[in-house]
Amino acid sequence: MIDLSAQQPAPVLAYTPQVAAATAAVYDRVRDVIPAIEWPVHAPYIEAIERLKKERNAIVLAHNYQTPEIFHGVADLTGDSLALARMAAETDADVIVLCGVHFMAETAKLLNPAKTVLIPDLKAGCSLASSITGADVRLLKERYPGVPVVTYVNTSADVKAETDVCCTSANAVEVVESLGVDRVIFLPDEYLGRYVARHTDVELILWHGHCEVHERFTGDQLRQFRRRYDDLQILAHPECPPDVLEEADFVGSTSGMIRAVGERRPRRVVMVTECSMSDNVAVEHPEVEFIRPCNLCPHMKRITLPKILDSLRHLRYEVEVAPEIAAPARRAVERMLEVGRGSQAG
Ligand code: 13P
Ligand code: SF4
C-alpha cells in the first residue's frame, strides 16, 4: 500500500452521498488495499472521471504499475506494455488517456495518429528510455553494419525510428528469433538482453541501460525471503539483474507474472517488480499472501487521479510525434505486433 498523500494536491471535490453511492462497488473490490480513511479522497475523482470519459468518448488505458485507485477505479483496460500497445491499436475511442509513462503514450500515438492521445503528466519518463538516443543507435549501426536492431518498447520514438523491430518483455525472445539471423543489436536494457541471450542461440550486442526500479533488487534479498518464508514462490521481471533471476521460480512480463499467480495459486508469493503490482493483484487473490519489498517507480507514480481528471477536462497533455520520426517508428512497432499476433507469450 502506498501513501501518496504527500504528492497529491488537497482534495477539492466533495465526498457527497451521491459520490459514495456511485463508487461503492469499486470500493468493495479494493477495500483490502485502500484504507477506508483514504476513500473520500479518491472517490470524488473516480466519479468525475467516469462522467467525463463518457462525454469525451475517451478510454483510460492503465499499466499494471498504476496505483489501485487508478487500476481498479478508472481504467477501462489494463495490462503490460505489449497489451497496452495492442489495445491502443484496436480502440475506437476518440481520446486515449494513457496512465503509464511517456513511451507508452508515444506508442499509442504511433498506432493511432488520428486520435487524441493524452498523458496526465508529461514528466512521467523512464530510466531505460532516457539511457539511449537515436544518435546512439545510428553510431551502433555504423559500427555493426547490416546487423538488425531490436529495441525494447521502453524507448523514445526517436530511437524506435532507428529500429528494425521493437519488442517487450513478453515477446523479446520470439522477436529476436523471428529475424532469422545470427547476430542482433538489442537495446537498451542490458538485463533483459542477458535474459534473452540465455534463451536463444542468437548473439546479442547489448547496451548498458537499466531500469532504476528493478536494478535495486538483489539475489541476497530473495535468499533472505526464502529463509524467512516457507512455501514462497518468487516471480520476477526480466529487467532484474541476473542474480535475481537465478533465484526466481518464474520470469515474465508484468502480465505474465499476474497470470502465474492465477495459474500457480501459491500460498505465498513475492512479485519482484514495481510496488503497486502486488496491491493490484492482491485484489483478485485475497487467498494469497503477498510479501512486498517495495520499489516504487517515481515516473509511474506521477500519474494521479486529480491529474487524470485535469487531463480529460483540458485535453492535456497531448502526445505528438514528428511525422518523419513517426513513420519509421510505427513500422518497428507494427512489425512487433505482427510477430506476436495471436500469441500470449510472457
Ligand atoms: P511490462 O509491463 O511490459 O512487463 O514492462 C514493465 C515495465 O517496466 C514497463 O515500464
Ligand atoms: Fe521505466 Fe523501470 Fe519505471 Fe518501467 S519501472 S517505467 S522500466 S523506470
Binned at pLDDT 50, 70 and 90, residue 82 comes out as: confident
135 contacts: CB under 8 Å, gap ≥ 6: none
Residue 182 has pLDDT above 60, yes or no: yes
Pocket test for ligand 2, best of 107, 254, 297 (most atoms within 8 A of CB): 297
Residue 202 has pLDDT above 50, yes or no: yes
Instruction: Quote the distance between the C-alpha of residue 1 and its chain's center.
Output: 18
Indicate if 116 and 227 belong to the same structural domain: no
Indicate if 137 and 55 belong to the same structural domain: no
Give the atom of ligand 2 at the shortest distance from the alpha carbon of 274: 5
Q: Which residues line ligand 1 (CB under 6 A)?
A: 64, 80-82, 126, 154, 168-170, 211, 237, 239, 253-254
d(CA 141, CA 123): 30
The domain of 224 spans 214-291
Q: Which of 80, 61, 59, 83 is nearest to 71 (CA)?
A: 61
The amino acid occupying position 237 is H
Residue 319 has pLDDT above 80, yes or no: yes
- Ligand with the closest atom to the CA of 62: 1
Q: What average pLDDT does this structure show over 278-307? A: 96
pLDDT for 343: 47
Total of domains in the chain: 3
How many CA atoms does the CB half-sphere of 323 hold within 13 Å? 1
Helix axes 102-111, 81-90, angle to 10 degrees: 30
d(CA 116, CA 113): 8
* CA of residue 98 to ligand 2 center, whole Å: 15
CATH number of the domain within which 68 lies: 3.40.50.10800
The CB of 215 under 6 Å from ligand 2? The reply is no
Residue 319 lies in a domain: no
Residue 336 lies in a domain: no
Residue 26 lies in a domain: yes
Indicate if 14 and 104 belong to the same structural domain: yes
Binned at pLDDT 50, 70 and 90, residue 341 comes out as: low
Residue 346 lies in a domain: no
**Global pTM value:** 0.94
Give how far Cα 227 sits from Cα of 132, 224, 245, 289, 296, Å: 39, 5, 17, 16, 24
Residue 148 grid cell? 538488425
The CB of 212 under 6 Å from ligand 2? The reply is yes
Ligand 1, atom 3, lies closest to the CA of 81
Ligand 2, atom 6, lies closest to the CA of 126
pLDDT per residue as tens digits for the range 33-68: 999 999 999 999 999 999 999 999 999 999 999 999
